[in-house]
Chain A
Amino acid sequence: MPNELLRMRGVTLGYGSSRILDRLDFAVERGDFLGVMGPNGSGKTTLLRAILGLLRPQAGSIEFPSADGAPPRFGYVPQRERLDPHFPLSALEVAVMGRFGKMGAMRRARRADYEIARECLARCRMQRFAGRPYRELSGGQQQRVLIARALAGEPDALLLDEPTNGMDLEAERAVMELLQDLQRERGTTIVFVTHLLSAIEHFARRVALITRDGSIASGAKENMLAPDSLARAYAEEQE
C-alpha cells in the first residue's frame, strides 16, 4: 500500500525465550492517528519498541514501504516517569535533545538547534517555560516538553507511550488536543499507546487492540470499540 508508513508481517516479539506478541500482521498508515490499547502487560510498549527498532523481531519482518525502504524518522515520547528527575535539566535542554540525532558525533548543539527547540516548545505552548527546570513542571507540562523534544527531530511520525498517564482530565485533554492539532495541521502520523479508554474514544481515528493471547486487531475506532471487540481483548481481566 503506497500510503503505509510501516507494515509488520508475521512479527513475533518477546524478550529472551518468552513471546509477548505473536505473528502480528499490522500496518500504520501515513497521517494516521492510531491508538494502541490492551490489557496491562499485553505488550503495548513492546510493540512501540519494535517499531522504533529497539527490539528485533524474533520472527517475521517490519517493512517500511517508502521509495528507498529506509525507516521513517520517528519521534519517541517515552513514559515520563521513566526519566530520572535528578537530572537538572531546563525545559529547553530537554527539548534540544531531539536534535541530537541530527548533529553528528561529538558536535555540540548550535544556536540553530536551540532555535528549533524553542519553536517546538512554542508549538506545544511551552515557550514561557523554556528556562524552567523540567522536573518542577506539572505532569502535563512535562509531557508537552517531551512532545516538543520529539518534534525537534523533525519526525515523520510520533510514537507516544502512555502520554496522559497520571494526569487529571483537563491536562489529558490538553495533551491529546495538542496531538490532534499536530496531526491535522501537519499531517504528522501519531501512534500512541494507552490504557485509558477516554483518550482513545475521544481522539484516535483508528484503534489497534492487543489481546491477552498476544494477537492484534486494528481498524476504525467505531468497530474496535464495539463491546464484543473489547470483551475479547479484556476477557481474562474481566473474569
Chain B
Amino acid sequence: MSELLSIRFMRNVLLAGVLVALGLAPLSIYVVLRRIVFVGAAVAEISSAGVALAVLFNFEPFAAALVLTIATFLLFSRAADSPRLPLEALIGMLYAGGSAAAVLLIVKAPRGEGDILNVLFGNILTVPTALLWLMLAVFAIVSAIQYLAAKEFLIVAYDPDMARAMGIRVDRWNTIFYVAMGVAVAVAIRGVGALLTFALLVAPGAAALCFAESMAAGFAIATGLGLAATVVGIVLSYSMDLPTGPAIVAILTAAFAVSYCWAALRRA
C-alpha cells in the first residue's frame, strides 16, 4: 500500500476511486429501491451519443454528454410517477436509442471513436487532476443534497401519496433527485467509465440491502462497502497487474454475491 501511495498517478487513481465510491455508493440504495438499476447503462449510451454529436458538430464532448445526461434524468423524473408506463420501459428505449444514435452519428463524424470509447470505458488510471477537483466538487454537492433532503428522497420513493397528503412536492423532489444523480453519473462516467459507474450505482446498494434493517444502516453499509471494494480493487490491480476498473467491479460483484448468499442462508 505504501509503495502504491508513493507513486503520484496511483495516488490520483486511489483518490478518483474513493471520490466516485463516496459519491455513488449512497445513491445506489435509491437506484435499487426505485428499480432503476439499468439507468447507468442507458445514460452511458446517451452520453456516448452526446460525445458523437459533439465530435460531429465541434462542441466540447464532455459538455454535450453532461447536457444530454441531465436532460435524460429530467425525463426520468417526469416519468417516475407515470401510471401508464413503467420507468424501466423508458430506460430500455433510451438504452437502445442512445446506442443507435451513437453509432449513426459516429459513422458520419470525421473522428471520435476514441472519444466514444473513452466515455464508455473511460479509464480510472488516466483521470487528470482537474477532473479530480470537479469530481470532488460535484460529489460533495450531491452528497450534501442527499444528506439534507434525506426525508424528502425517502418519502417520495416509499410513499408518494403520503408525501402529497403532507404537502411535500413529489414532482419537485423527484426532479432534484434525478438531476443530482444525472450530474453525479455524468462526472463519474467521464472519470472512471461506464462499467465502473454502473457497478457502483448498483452493487453497494444491492449488497447493503441484503443486510440492512434500517435505512441509516443501509446507507452506512453501502458507502463502506463501495469504498472498501474500490480500494481493495485498486490495490489488487496494482499488485497483480490487472486492469483497475474490472478489478474493482469483480470485487464489488463478489461482495454482492457473499451478501446475497448470507441473506439467503439467514432466511433459510
Binding site for B on A (CB under 8 A): 49, 52-54, 74, 76, 78, 82-84, 86-90, 93, 97, 100-101, 103, 105-109, 133, 153
Between-chain CB contacts (< 8 Å), 24 pairs: A49-B161, A52-B164, A76-B161, A78-B161, A86-B33, A88-B209, A88-B212, A88-B217, A90-B213, A90-B214, A93-B214, A93-B216, A97-B151, A97-B158, A100-B155, A100-B163, A100-B166, A101-B166, A107-B151, A108-B148, A109-B151, A133-B213, A133-B214, A153-B166
Q: Is there contact, CB below 8 Å, between A54 and B165?
A: yes
Least CB distance, A120 to chain B, in whole angstroms: 15
Binding site for A on B (CB under 8 A): 32-33, 147-152, 154-155, 157-159, 161-168, 209, 212-218
A103 to B212 Cα, complex, angstroms: 26
Q: Is there contact, CB below 8 Å, between B214 and A88?
A: yes
- CB-defined contacts of B165 to chain A, threshold 8 Å: 52-54, 74, 76, 101
A169 to B213 Cα, complex, angstroms: 29
Least CB distance, A106 to chain B, in whole angstroms: 4
A84 to B29 Cα, complex, angstroms: 14
A89 to B154 Cα, complex, angstroms: 10
Q: A93-B214, A103-B151 are in contact. Are A78 and B162 (CB under 8 A)?
A: yes
Q: Is there contact, CB below 8 Å, between B151 and A100?
A: yes
Q: A88-B218, A106-B148, A106-B149 are in contact. Are A76 and B162 (CB under 8 A)?
A: yes
- CB-defined contacts of B213 to chain A, threshold 8 Å: 88, 90, 133
**Nearest B residue to A73 by beta-carbon distance?**
B166
Interface residues of A: mostly helix, strand, loop or mixed?
Answer: loop
A109 to B214 Cα, complex, angstroms: 15
**Nearest B residue to A90 by beta-carbon distance?**
B214
Least CB distance, B243 to chain A, in whole angstroms: 33
Q: Is there contact, CB below 8 Å, between A106 and B212?
A: no
**Nearest B residue to A101 by beta-carbon distance?**
B166
Least CB distance, A125 to chain B, in whole angstroms: 21
A196 to B214 Cα, complex, angstroms: 34
Q: Is there contact, CB below 8 Å, between B162 and A89?
A: no
Residue from B148, B158, B216, B218 whose CB has the most chain A CB atoms within 10 Å: B158
- CB-defined contacts of A103 to chain B, threshold 8 Å: 151
Ordered nearest first, which 3 A-B pairs have the shortest CB separation?
A101-B166, A88-B212, A106-B148
Q: Is there contact, CB below 8 Å, between A84 and B33?
A: yes
Q: Is there contact, CB below 8 Å, between A78 and B164?
A: no
A103 to B215 Cα, complex, angstroms: 19
A53 to B167 Cα, complex, angstroms: 9
Q: Is there contact, CB below 8 Å, between B33 and A87?
A: yes
Q: Is there contact, CB below 8 Å, between B214 and A84?
A: no
Q: Is there contact, CB below 8 Å, between A97 and B159?
A: yes
- CB-defined contacts of B212 to chain A, threshold 8 Å: 88
Q: Is there contact, CB below 8 Å, between B150 and A108?
A: yes
**Nearest B residue to A89 by beta-carbon distance?**
B215
Additional 17 contacts, C-beta under 8 A, given A78-B161, A93-B216, A100-B151: A49-B161, A53-B164, A53-B165, A76-B162, A83-B158, A84-B158, A87-B33, A88-B213, A88-B218, A89-B158, A100-B155, A105-B152, A107-B148, A108-B147, A108-B148, A108-B150, A109-B151
A46 to B149 Cα, complex, angstroms: 30
- CB-defined contacts of A49 to chain B, threshold 8 Å: 161
Least CB distance, B131 to chain A, in whole angstroms: 29
A107 to B152 Cα, complex, angstroms: 9
- CB-defined contacts of A89 to chain B, threshold 8 Å: 158, 214-215
Q: A53-B164, A87-B215, A100-B166 are in contact. Are A106 and B152 (CB under 8 A)?
A: yes
- CB-defined contacts of B209 to chain A, threshold 8 Å: 86, 88
A97 to B213 Cα, complex, angstroms: 16
- CB-defined contacts of A101 to chain B, threshold 8 Å: 165-168
Residue from B33, B150, B157, B161 whose CB has the most chain A CB atoms within 10 Å: B161
Least CB distance, A192 to chain B, in whole angstroms: 16
- CB-defined contacts of A97 to chain B, threshold 8 Å: 151, 154-155, 158-159, 162
**Nearest B residue to A109 by beta-carbon distance?**
B151
**Nearest A residue to B210 by beta-carbon distance?**
A88
Least CB distance, B249 to chain A, in whole angstroms: 23
- CB-defined contacts of A153 to chain B, threshold 8 Å: 166
A101 to B161 Cα, complex, angstroms: 12
A89 to B151 Cα, complex, angstroms: 13
**Nearest B residue to A100 by beta-carbon distance?**
B151
A106 to B150 Cα, complex, angstroms: 8
Least CB distance, B82 to chain A, in whole angstroms: 13
A49 to B166 Cα, complex, angstroms: 13
